[in-house]
Amino acid sequence: MFEATTILAYRGVNKSVIGGDGQVTFGNCVLKSNATKIRSLYEGKILSGFAGSTADAFSLFDMFENILETKRGDLERSVVDFSKEWRKDKYLRKLEAMMLVLNRSKIYILSGSGDVVEPEDGKIAAIGSGGNFALSAARALDRNASLAEDVLVRQSLQIAGELCIYTNMNIKLLEIQ
C-alpha cells in the first residue's frame, strides 16, 4: 500500500455505503484536510472511491464513468473493460492508485496493473494506507455488532484515523439503497 488515504466500502443488507477520509498529504505535510475522494456515478446507482493522486482521480473517475455509460451501468462488464483500458494506457498504468466501486450486488477493487478483485466475503473492501485498519475494524463490527451500514463504515474509518497518520477524522459517506 502507499501513503494515500483510506476508503472503505460495505454492502449491507439494507444499503451499500462507501466512505473516505478527507486528508491529502504531500510527503510528511498535510495539504488539505477536507478533500472528497468518493463519488456517486451512473445516476446514483454506483459508488466509487479513489486512493492516490487527486489529479489522477479525476482522470480515472471520468474514464470509468464513460465506460459505465457505454455498458449502461453494468458494473461487472464495466470494471473488466476499465481495467483493460487502465492497464493499456502507458501513463495511467504507472499510477500508484486504486479504486473501489460497488452497487447493491457487487463490490470490486481495481488497480492499474489490471487487478479486478471481488472481496472474498463479497461485502467489505478497503483501499489506501489506512485501508487495512478500516477493513479490520469493519470486519469485527460486522461480525459482532448490529449496526446500520453507515454507522459501521463511519466507526471503522474513525478507528483507522486513530491509527494511520495518513487518515483523518473528516469522514464523508455516500450510500445507495
Q: Report the C-alpha gap between 155 and 62 in whole angstroms.
A: 30
DSSP β-ladder status, 29-32 and 24-26: antiparallel
Q: Which residues are catalytic?
A: 5
Q: Which amino acid is at 170?
A: N
Contact predicate 8/126, CB 8 Å: yes
- 50-63 residues labelled b (16+ CB within 10 A) or e (exposed): bbbbeebbebbbee
DSSP β-ladder status, 172-176 and 24-26: unpaired
CB atoms within 10 A of CB 46: 23
